[in-house]
Each structure stands twice: as C-alpha cells, then as structure tokens.
Amino acid sequence: MDILITIQHPAHVHFFKHAIDEFEARGHEVYVRALDKDVSVSLLEEYDIEHEVIGSPGESLPALALSALSIEYRLYREARRIEPDVITTIGGFYAAHVARLIGTDCVVFTDTEHATLSNALTFPFADEVATPECYREDAGANQYRYPSYHELAYLHPDRFEPDPSALDGLPVGPDDTYAVVRLVSWGAAHDVGDEGIDGLSALIDRLERGGATVLISAEGDALPPELRGYALDVAPHLIHHVLAYADLFVGESGTMAAESAVLGTPTVYVHSAEPGLMQDLESYGLLFGYHGDRRNERAVDRADDILRSTDVDWEERRGQLLEERVDATDVVVRRVLTAARTVGIQEQRVPATGAQRS
C-alpha cells in the first residue's frame, strides 16, 4: 500500500525513521513530505530517507498562519497525486485536513497537551489520535493510548546503541564528567507565553564548580554571544550519543529532556509547562521538573546535587522504565497498518532494517 508521512520537526524524523524501514521491508511504498524547519531536511538526508520539501513554517504567528495555507495546499496536491491508503503524522493539522479532503484515513501521534491550537485544529479530523498513556488530556472518541513514549521509537535499546566515537572532536570523552544544557528559541506556536532558564551564567558557574564540563546546545540565537565558547558543535544525527554519555542534562526542550531521561541520563527540565510525559518520567526518578516561582534556583540546586551524588544507580532506574514501556516503533507500525483501508494486508513482524541508522 501507499503510506504518506509528514514531517514538521527534526524529532519527527527520528520518530518515523525505523517505521519507514519496516514499512518498506514489508513491500509498502512510503512517501515523506517535510517542512524545512531547523535540521529536519539534513536529518532526512543523513538517514537517506527519500523526501520532498513542501514549505517552511513562518517565524511569527501571522507568518505561521500564512505559511500553513500554502503548506496545506501543497500537501493536498501531493496527496491527490499519490492517493495514499493512509496518512500519518505527529500533531500535524495539515495531514489531518488533507486526509479528510481526499477521503483517506489519518493516524495522528501526539504527546504535547499544551499544543492546544494545533490539537484543536487536528483532532476532529483524525481517524485516530494515538497518545502515550501518560497523556493527560482527552483527545476524543478516536484516542488510542499505548504504554510508551515518542522517544522510545528511536532510543529503545532495540533501536539504539551509544557510540563513543560520536564524541570525537568534542572537548569531552565518554568517561569525562560533562553536562549538556539545552536552550530553545521559543518560536514554536505552543511555546508562546512560556519561559525557561534565567541566569544562564550562574548555572554554568555552578555546574563547573560541581566538576562538569558544560556543553550548550541552542536553537537560533538563544545562546548569548559571550557564552558561545560553550557551544556544542556536533552533527545533529549524533546528538543522542552525546546525551547518552552525559552525566547530566539541564534544559528547556521537552523533546531533548525526554530523550536524555529515557537514555538514563539524569535530567533537570526547566519550563513553565508540565506535560504528562514529564510527570511520568519523574515517577521513575530520571527527570526532575521545575516550573513557576523559583524554578531556576531549585533547578540549579538539583543539578548540583546530581553532579555531587555517588549513590544513585541511574541505569537501574532506566531498567525499570524499559520493563514497563514498549518499543514505540512497533506501535507506529501496528496502528498505521491497522488504520489502512486496504483489505487483506496481513501484519507480520519484520526486524527493523534501520536499527543501525542510529
């Protein structure tokens, strides 16, 4: 059958990459249509995933609205040409609208409750909204809950093994003590009104006094010029290896915080939003979320405690998580094939040919 996948964010490339391999191994045709956002296109190229770019999102809310009309029209034209049996996406209202227009099924995956506008524009048009069990909102009658996280579609140990050579060229090695700090640009629609880390210089000073080398990953111009000596210079497809060997992650990015936590790296998440995903990771003792008043002061204290602690077995905590959470790629493949209109498609588990892409 024909499967159309839309990509709106770099994390979506990681989420779908192993599913694409499995679909193709079963003989299905996969069509990827992507937005040119951040490093999405370079990741698709790095993983050798055939794709076409259908536009780029605007930087402001008015520009986002205008670009959305253009992107949806281009996707509609592509879908009319492809005539897919199913369309799937992460939180993409473009895909849900187009699927309804052309009369095909649409499976939407999401884990972001505070993307309220996007969710409102998407859920009524989707045939299925698949969410992790920890998703706190009601996504409607077509909601399907599963025991995993988006990040376990590509960071489950069946899909990913850290490679120490990925740190070559960085000022740290896999046995060194280092912390990764992540700053976001706050340009996404669901980030409007949100805020994260204040006092970046004070945070760096505290981490260094705790014995850690500090590497900062930043979107856009989020890193002040005077701190650019701390910039983490690594190819986007290698970032998960860097996170896996880190002793600590501190950041504003929900995606990268969740990635660090499922890799067993103790994580301090600083953000005004508190989605169900973060609460679930907190229950395993792998993530510590700080929100509201004094969030920065409390986050810095926790980061310092983690660096100085010697009696916590982070791998044991990760092991408990993995015992209770499944490989999310298996969920993606099953839900997409189940939703397909094609009669007689039989599911047969095929080993993921793309597991080595990590």
pLDDT of residue 60: 66
Sheet with strand 213-218: strands edge to edge: 213-218, 178-183, 248-251, 267-270, 287-290
Cα–Cα separations (whole angstroms), residue 31 to 70, 180, 187: 19, 35, 28
On the question of a common fold for 2-157+327-357 and 165-321, the answer reads: yes
Q: What is the dihedral of CA 332, 11, 189, 57, to 10 degrees?
A: -100
Report the mean per-residue pLDDT for the chain: 90
Residue with the larger pLDDT of the pair 255 and 349: 255
SS (H, E, C) 253-294: CHHHHHHHHHCCCCEEEECCCCCHHHHHHHHCCCEEEECCCC
Whether the predicted pLDDT of 261 surpasses 70? yes
Helix (H) or strand (E) holding 244: helix 239-245
pLDDT score, position 100: 96
Average pLDDT, integer, range 325-345: 83
Q: Where are the domains of the chain?
A: 2-157+327-357, 165-321
Q: What is the pLDDT of residue 346?
A: 40
pLDDT higher than threshold 50 for residue 343: no
Q: With 90 as the cut, is the pLDDT of residue 200 above it?
A: no
Least confident window among 55-69, 200-214, 266-280: 55-69
CA atoms within 13 A on the CB side of 58: 12
DSSP state of 230: G
The pLDDT, as a whole number, for residue 268 is 96
* Dihedral, CA of residue 202, residue 318, residue 129 and residue 99, to nearest 10: 80
Identify the bridge partners of residue 213 per DSSP, sorted by sequence position: 178
CATH H superfamily, domain 165-321: Glycogen Phosphorylase B; (3.40.50.2000)
pLDDT of the residue at 187: 41
CATH number of 2-157+327-357: 3.40.50.2000
| 133-143 average pLDDT score | 95
Q: Cα angle vertex 87, ends 83, 91, to 5°?
A: 150
- pLDDT surpasses 70 at 183: yes
Q: Among the ranges 69-78, 179-188, 222-231, which has the highest mean pLDDT value?
A: 69-78
Supply the pLDDT for residue 192. 38
Global pTM value: 0.89
Averaged over 216-220, what is the pLDDT? 87
Where is average pLDDT lowest: 26-35, 206-215, 267-276, 306-315?
267-276
- One-letter identity of residue 39: V
